[in-house]
Amino acid sequence: MQLFLRIFLVLSILFQIPIFAGIKEAKKAYAQKQFQKAIKLFTEYAKENPSDGEPYMFMGYIYESQKDFPRSMGMFRRAVELNLNPKQKKTSLLKIILFYNYHQGWDIVAHYSNKFLKLDPDNREVSKMRDRAYANRGHDPGTLSFAKPEEHKTKQKKNSEETEKSNSEEREKKEREREREREREREKEREREKSESISEKTIPQNKEEKNWELSLKYFKLEDYQKADKIMQELLTQSPHNKNYLYKAGIAKLRLGEFEKAIKYFETSKKFTRENDKMLLYYLNLNEGQAYQKLGNTNTAIELYNKAYQYNNSPIVLPVIAKIHYENKSFEDSIKISDQILKSDFNNLEANMYKSLSLIALGRKKSGYKILLDFTKKINRLYPEINTVPEKFHDGLLQIGVFYSNRIKYKLALKYLTVVSSTKSKSQKFNFSLGKTYFYTKKYDLATVFLEKIPEITAANYLLAKYYAKENNITKCKIHLAKAGNKNEIYWIKVKLDPYFKDLLKSTEFISYVDGKGIITPPPAKTVIPPKVEETKIEPKETKVETKNTTEQINPEIPAEKEPTIVQPEVKPPNNTVIPPLKEEELKQ
């Protein structure tokens, strides 16, 4: 085997057999405008280096020079999802944005503009294009060609034949585009005829167009009240206009009138053809959002799935993953997240919901591994943590809890304070932030958050510790009882916890703890009766009788004194005083 390899190496040197040309050779062929050779070498390099976006970027340039724009866009879109340096990434993103802005592919413009503005947030031109894309979503752009990047086989033909074929294909493509344009014009004409047949007093078309443009401006300014008013006027003129119905639904959605929004979306669908996939995508997407706001998540998921069928947009599946996670359907959330990660391994929302679902299912080792990797990516993308979008707050809350439980309170505060605007009603948030403030000795702040969650046992115990430190025995007992009644371990912890050392000097508090919060009532008071006076009986002379003899006691011998009989003191019940015994009774 070694001998064979040596022979192969020698032959490759002698006869210049390329083992692996590498990207340098591909770039050299590109610079020399040997495009077919360059494509072949870039494709080979991409197979060996699947995470490198550079070969796709150069193939995008090649197809662009050949005016094969669908393939060119496919290559640029693939490139920006892989590894590129910032300058290359900005250039590729800008090409995508400009192309789809010209062809009114608003969803794609909005998506890639956001990516570009993360790299260059001060770029005004891209900001304008993004704003225009958001304002025009749902306005029928016609049919767009979404090309997917694919590997291309090299063709062994002469340059003249390649040029001739390329020109032929270009002519056919232009003809197809002209036909599509004619069809769109015919469709617009039919719509115009419908709207004009409603009333003889139809407002002139130029005024209608002005109102439409004005409504889009109000949408851009987020003045939905004024936008809604204009949309209602437009619908009186053209009640069957699918775009007017759609934008009226958007206005109602933004104003919180979700049932009305749904009616407009459903009506717009009736007048929308199946081939108008972009409008159907937006209709289903926003109707799903309306149902989600109403709490009907099952219908929302169905509509989101329909939207995804019309346009495989990267924004749909993460929404479905989120709904499954919030509904505690963790396995479904993981399934959707994995579906996203197959095509976009670095998708932050998919990584976030997969990690949160794994943690919720008890698979904490793998869950926290993904979550920590998610956090690193967030910190790279958003050096200023306060600029992190709200859609990532679920992940930031969990990482804050993670650090709080590991006594890394400084890191915990970094993430927990960021999500306070969206998670203020979350028990997990209030407890973790309250606990973190408590152990960083910011007690005033700690009590604010802990008192919001009286149903949490551990929160009550922390409050009991605080009031013990403050020597407030009354409040300490209240919160200790709430904690101990749910978990008896807290009655044991009190005796070991240094926060209670001062209160444990009180016998009352000790008996309270020993009784587990049960206070025994004091015994009833008893009335002590008055003492009975002692009755003394005078002794008499006694004679000692013997058989047939009565003998008087010898006076020389001192006689034993008869003992004085003293009535014993008796404590009668019910304050009853016992009278002294009579003399006859004593003799007996």
SS3 state of residue 242:
helix
Q: Among 62-76, 172-186, 196-210, 480-494, which is the least confidently predicted range?
A: 196-210
Predicted confidence at residue 538, as pLDDT, reads 53
147 φ, ψ (degrees, to nearest 5): -90, 140
Nearest to 51 by CA among 78, 83, 24: 83
H or E element, residue 549: strand 549-551
- State the SS3 of 388-443: CCHHHHHHHHHHHHHHHHCCCHHHHHHHHCCCHHHHCCCHHHHHHHHHHHHHCCCH
The pair of three-digit structure tokens given for residue 362, joined into one six-digit string: 């008890």
What pLDDT was estimated at residue 547? 43
pLDDT-derived band at 282, boundaries 50, 70, 90: very high
The length of the chain in residues reads 588
With tokens 């000692």, the residue in question is: 544
The CB-based long-range contact list for 313-317 (8 Å cut-off, 24+ gap) reads: 313/107, 313/111, 313/281, 313/285, 314/111, 314/340, 314/344, 314/347, 315/111, 316/285, 317/350
Q: So what's the pLDDT on residue 130?
A: 85
Instruction: Read off the tokens for 175.
Output: 């003809």
Task: State both tokens at 568.
Answer: 């014993």
Query: Which residues 6+ apart lie within 8 Å of 436 measured at CB?
Result: 404, 409, 412, 413, 416
3-state SS record for 190-227: HHHHHHHCCCCCCCCHHHHHHHHHHHHHHHHCCCHHHH
Domains for the chain: give ranges and CATH numbers: 2-137 (1.25.40.10)
pLDDT at 67 over 70: yes
**What is the average pLDDT across 530-545?**
52
Of the given ranges (10-14, 35-39, 188-192, 310-314), which has the lowest mean pLDDT?
A: 10-14
Structure tokens at 549: 């003899």
pLDDT band with cut points at 50, 70 and 90 for residue 587: very low
Annotate 269-282 with b (16+ C-beta within 10 A) or e (fewer).
bebbeeebbbbbbb
> What distance in Å separates the CA atoms of residue 214 and residue 146, rounded to the nearest whole number?
31
- Three-state secondary structure along 316-371? HHHHHHHHHHHCCCHHHHHHHHHHHHHHCCCCHHHHHHHHHHHHHCCCHHHHHHHH
pLDDT at 127: 84
Tally of helices (H runs) and strands (E runs) in the chain: 29, 2
The secondary structure element, H or E, covering residue 544 is strand 544-546
Average pLDDT over residues 251-273: 95
Q: Which amino acid would we find at residue 16?
A: Q
Across the chain, what does the average pLDDT equal?
A: 80
Task: Select the more confidently predicted residue: 584 or 116.
Answer: 116
Look at 248-257, 462-471, 576-585 and tell me which has the smallest mean pLDDT.
576-585
Q: Helix, strand, or coil here: 249?
A: helix
DSSP letters for 15-29: HT--S--HHHHHHHH
pLDDT digits (tens, 9 = 90+) for 7-53: 544 444 444 334 345 788 888 888 888 888 989 898 888 888 888 88
Which range of 189-198, 279-288, 569-578 scores highest in mean pLDDT? It is 279-288
Beta-sheet pairing, 544-546 with 549-551: antiparallel
Task: Please state, in angstroms and as integers, the Cα–Cα distance from residue 472 to each residue in 75, 439, 461, following that order.
Answer: 70, 19, 14
Tokens representing residue 285 in the block? 């997407």
Those residues with Cβ within 8 angstroms of residue 454's Cβ, 6 or more apart along the chain or in another chain: 460, 482
170 or 86, which is more confident: 86
- pLDDT, greater one: 208 or 542: 208
The residue-averaged pLDDT of 362-382 equals: 94
The phi and psi torsions of 253 (rounded to 5 degrees) equal -60, -45
pTM for the model: 0.54
- Rounded CA Rg of the chain: 45
- Give the pLDDT of residue 70: 85
Q: In the predicted model, what is the mean pLDDT of residues 71-80?
A: 90
pLDDT digits (tens, 9 = 90+) for 148-184: 433 333 443 444 455 455 555 666 666 666 666 666 6
Residue that is written with structure tokens 């003249």 in the block: 160
Cβ atoms of 381 and 423 within 8 Å: the answer is no
Written as one string, the DSSP assignment of 48-87 is: H-TTB-HHHHHHHHHHHHTT-HHHHHHHHHHHHTSB--HH
**Residue 44 has what pLDDT?**
87
